[in-house]
Structure 1
Amino acid sequence: MGPVPPTKSGVARHTAALARELALAHETRVWSFRRLYPAFLYPGQSEVSDGFAEGAVSARPVLDGINPMTWRRTVKEIRAFGPDLVVLPAWTFFLAPALGWIAKSLRRSGIECCMIVHNAIDHEAAAWKSRLSLWQLSKASRFVTHNRDLADQISAVFPDRAVTVFPHPVFDDFPMPQGTLQREAEMEFLFFGLVRPYKGLDILLEGFALSDRKDARLTVVGEFWQGEDDCRRQIAALGIADRVELIPRFVSDAEAAEYFARADVVVLPYRSVTGSGVIPTAYHYGRAVVASDLPGLADVVRDGETGWLVPVADPNALGKLLGQLKRSETEVAGKRAHEFGATLSWEGFAHCVAGTADGTAHLASVATGTNGSIPERSTS
């Protein structure tokens, strides 16, 4: 259960990828949303996009986040199907009442409910929003998440529930780039994804200016929920308008492929995070990553191998690193990132969700580097 494409959301892509993998070994049905939020609560341009790659899953678009009648209908349909396991996402307070009520109702019928926790509480959430999110979590039978720090937080609140950890798998449904974007500089940096304050774009802009690289270019690709005017003013004030390209919208998968292909490094200067789908996408395209040293990112970024970690909210440290990077270094790191990403499979994650494997050992292997050396990727 969860949003699926064409809904514009990393969670939607995640739900679809997992459903496809589960369907290879289990009878699987998907219930999705016909509407996540009322239009006045969605600050973006639209909830949906027609720019996704092929491979969407078949789903029942029954749920409405603010219509309890659709919650009851969903529960009735799922009970009629009679599953052994229902998988639900947890990522935003707004849908916590719907998803929590559904989980509670299904568990009363003896159906196990596994929640995939993308965020235990909303980024930048008020206390009442956090309470709603925790209420949803309290209705789960068990949990799966993508980073150990978040798992520890969940276990502290729900010590009687099992929590399995598995790194965010690499999306493998993105199209191959066609090489339609020409390089504009010796070093190309990319910031990708929905722009929200916790993602630290302002930190990146300041760090990029401090790097004082005249041979570098920063491309920002993502829809702004808020702050686009502030961003443009900051770019102008820093005097970097001639070296920053702003694409303030949701882009199709085909367009995304071109931006990742042109980049040398993908930068995630986040202030806080519990995980990111941008890193596995970068790894899919063989691109090195610069990321804040946060638990949700450091679990999958091997410092000095697949990318580099920098102190959180430190534009000086970020600028120093960006100023020092060489293309020869980023090319090697990108090859290693691609090979490392191949170990983060949807098959392994699906086993964890289905309850047939424990991902904790895999995460320990990822974190400590015990998977062995990463071979160079052929350039042929």
Structure 2
Amino acid sequence: MRPSMGICEARSCSPAHGPRLRIVMIAAGVFEYTIELVNALSQRHEVDFLVPGSRFRHLVWAVHPRVRLHMLDWPRHRDPRSLAFVLRLAESIQQWRPDIIHFQCGQVWLNLLMPLLDQSTFVMTVHDVLPHVGDQESRKIPQWIGAFTIRHAHRLITHGERLKVALAHRHHIPLDRIDVIPHGVLSFYRRLLPSPNGNTSRATGRAEVLFFGRIYKYKGLEYLIQAQPKITRAVPEARIVIAGRGEAFDKYAAMLPDPEKFIIYNEYIPNRRVAELFDRADVVVLPYIGGSQSGVLQVAYAFGKPVVATRVGSIEEAVDDGVTGRLVPPGDADALADAIIELLRDPARRAAMREHIARQVATRFAWSRIAEATESTYRRAMAYRSTSL
């Protein structure tokens, strides 16, 4: 475990961007996204990154040494020690005198930080505007918890224009208090590859279609399973790789038309295996029937992999149809199969898509740009708070 560093008292200024900020970033989840963000922000600002130590240890390697990482003994939300934990946390944060406190996920006891630190400026990133269909894990936390933080934050961030409108409508928040900042590319997994070059699927002699992540109803895995016969009739060497865990897999196993056409890892996937799976894939598939955005899509882009995704949430805002991947209607197994076949049969088109993806990774989804946009959100939040006092 890396120890937390001391707090620097000096604040420098950059003429181009304004004063150097002291940022407290609190993440109860979405760790991969937040790691990339704090690493980028720390190039110009002082960042304290607070995480649950027991759930974060496998990712410590990815946090830049500039970031002050605090691995906290963070109780679960039903633990009676939570109140004392939040009181101690508020006392520590108050001593640091941050300019911004940025929440990445709602958590029941963290709501108390707002009244306890009422002289602070709060920003929250809302990754998922609506609860996911069938995601029982997320539903264990009452919806009012996130709603409280959303309604009391000085400014909000979400990842797409459609999400912005939905967030404003759901929580009765003015549109001008919400900023749209794209979900950046999750590139740190590439550091775990034994070699930066080469697609290892070529050595296996097969074409691999990857479905990766938590397995819940909203991910639409059943439609990819239904698409398999059509895919493998057209591309006999194709195999569908399913990697991840979630709800009971038995019902999906019973759906498999040709089990030998699937490679299944229904388990926790270690970081190095994540890198290997994406490196090996020819196409990454997101057959979601619901959802807001996708970190899986941004891991695929980090590896230069074209995606086949559905038009749900703001996923379609991140996929340039026919350029970085293909978009199909949700719940349409035939359209899903056709788009996958189209890409598997055309290596030259996949190569062209990789080039377009690389350009977007270096521009639209680059963390340097996202950090600048986030800094602008911070300064707007500070201005809003100062005028509302």
Q: What TM-score bracket applies, with the shorter chain setting the length?
A: 0.7 to 0.9
1:209 aligns with 229
Q: Report how far residue 168 of structure 1 moved.
A: 0.8
SS of the counterpart of 1:29? Answer: strand
CA distance in structure 2 between the partners assigned to 1:65 and 1:114 by the alignment: 23
Q: Does 1:75 align with 2:55?
A: no
Q: What do the CA deviations read for 1:119-172 (whole angstroms, capped 9, x no partner)?
A: 124313769933333223112111011111111122232117611111111123
Paired residue for 2:300, among 282, 304, 313?
282
CA distance in structure 1 between the partners assigned to 2:59 and 2:98 by the alignment: 32
Distance 1:81-1:55 versus aligned 2 partners, 3 A rule:
closer
CA distance in structure 2 between the partners assigned to 1:12 and 1:127 by the alignment: 19
Q: CA RMSD in A?
A: 2.7
Q: Report how far residue 182 of structure 1 moved.
A: 4.4
Equivalent pair of 1:204/1:318 in contact (CA under 8 Å): yes
CA distance in structure 2 between the partners assigned to 1:165 and 1:358 by the alignment: 15
- The number of residue pairs the alignment matches comes to 333
Paired residue for 1:139, among 144, 152, 165?
152
Q: Does 1:87 align with 2:102?
A: yes
Distance 1:160-1:148 versus aligned 2 partners, 3 A rule:
closer
Larger Rg: 2
Could you tell me which runs of 5 or more consecutive residues in structure 2 were left unpaired when the two chains were aligned.
Answer: 1-24, 381-389
SS of the counterpart of 2:104? Answer: strand
SS of the counterpart of 1:340? Answer: helix
SS of the counterpart of 1:226? Answer: coil
Q: What do the CA deviations read for 1:191-222 (whole angstroms, capped 9, x no partner)?
A: 11122221111111112233334221111111
Q: Report how far residue 177 of structure 1 moved.
A: 5.0
2:280 aligns with 262
Counterparts of 1:1-380 in structure 2, within 5 Å, are 1-3=25-27, 11-34=30-53, 47=55, 50=58, 54-55=62-63, 58-62=68-72, 63-66=74-77, 67-90=82-105, 95-106=106-117, 108=118, 110-124=119-133, 129-156=142-169, 157-159=172-174, 162-174=177-189, 175=191, 176=193, 178=195, 181-183=200-202, 184-211=204-231, 212-213=233-234, 214-222=236-244, 224-235=245-256, 238=257, 240-325=258-343, 326=345, 327-343=347-363, 344-355=365-376
Distance 1:358-1:166 versus aligned 2 partners, 3 A rule:
farther
CA distance in structure 1 between the partners assigned to 2:60 and 2:265 by the alignment: 18
Amino acid at match of 2:58: D
TM-score, normalised to structure 1, is 0.80
Amino acid at match of 2:87: R
Q: Report how far residue 86 of structure 1 moved.
A: 0.6
Equivalent pair of 1:121/1:129 in contact (CA under 8 Å): no
Equivalent pair of 1:190/1:263 in contact (CA under 8 Å): yes
CA distance in structure 1 between the partners assigned to 2:379 and 2:221 by the alignment: 35
Equivalent pair of 1:33/1:65 in contact (CA under 8 Å): no
Equivalent pair of 1:17/1:346 in contact (CA under 8 Å): yes
CA distance in structure 2 between the partners assigned to 1:308 and 1:319 by the alignment: 11
Equivalent pair of 2:111/2:148 in contact (CA under 8 Å): yes
Equivalent pair of 2:181/2:374 in contact (CA under 8 Å): no
Could you tell me which runs of 5 or more consecutive residues in structure 1 were left unpaired when the two chains were aligned.
Answer: 36-46, 360-380
Q: Report how far residue 333 of structure 1 moved.
A: 1.3
Q: Report how far residue 89 of structure 1 moved.
A: 1.2
Q: Report how far residue 352 of structure 1 moved.
A: 2.4
Distance 1:358-1:72 versus aligned 2 partners, 3 A rule:
closer
Identical-residue share of aligned pairs (%): 25
Q: What do the CA deviations read for 1:78-127 (whole angstroms, capped 9, x no partner)?
A: 1111011111013xxxx532232223432x2x211000111124313769
